[in-house]
Amino acid sequence: MFLAEDEAGLYLQATTTAVWAPRGQTPVVRAHPGRELVHFYGTLNLHTGQEIVMRSTEMNAQVTAQYLERILGAFPGVNILLLWDRAPWHSGQPIRDVLAANPRLEIMLFPVAAPELNPQEHVWKAARRAVSHNHTMSRLPELADKFESYLQSNAFESPLLDRYGFNAIRPMFK
């Protein structure tokens, strides 16, 4: 099983993209005064395009280790290669403990400063475009629910495996 993982933060403040307004009437965009934030861990199954997602109030090695356990539970008995970046919360004793206890989970790191290689980044971009750009919601939990629902109810294509020739040899891994 090939998976790509990343994290994202979601604020209540809407990001604006193209906005239509009558000529001469600049639209008013309300700014949320707080910095309330929810984090999302997201993992893209590169075979099916399905997403595993978890919300968190913080990101650290302990929470990341709990998320790795969730990934392992989603694919019982299956060997997993997890691709992720070099975020500081991707290391530490809790991560080493999960990896030691689960030899079927291997981690491969993306190169430094190369987010464009991570297919999960494209998932975040699609979810933001669909949910959090130009939104009018007034409560973060409502926005987070909609964001999570979008992630779980859509499949996201990634050309990563094709680009590196894996799909040509995939039958050998069944």
Chain segment 57-81, per-residue pLDDT in tens: 999 999 999 999 999 999 999 999 9
Say if residue 170's pLDDT is above 70: no
Determine how many CB atoms are found less than 10 A away from the CB of residue 34: 9
Cβ neighbours, 10 Å, residue 161: 16
Rounded Cα distance, 167 and 41, in Å: 26
pLDDT category of residue 138 using cuts at 50, 70 and 90: confident
Nearest to 10, CA basis, from 153, 152, 147: 147
Residues of the chain above pLDDT 90, percent: 70
Question: All domains of the chain, ordered by start, with CATH?
Answer: 2-10+36-173 (3.30.420.10)
Residue 30 is predicted with a pLDDT of 66
Q: How far is residue 168's CA from residue 174's CA, in Å, rounded to a whole number?
A: 13
**Of the candidate ranges 51-55, 85-89, 137-141, the one whose mean pLDDT is the lowest:** 137-141
Q: What is the pTM of this model?
A: 0.88
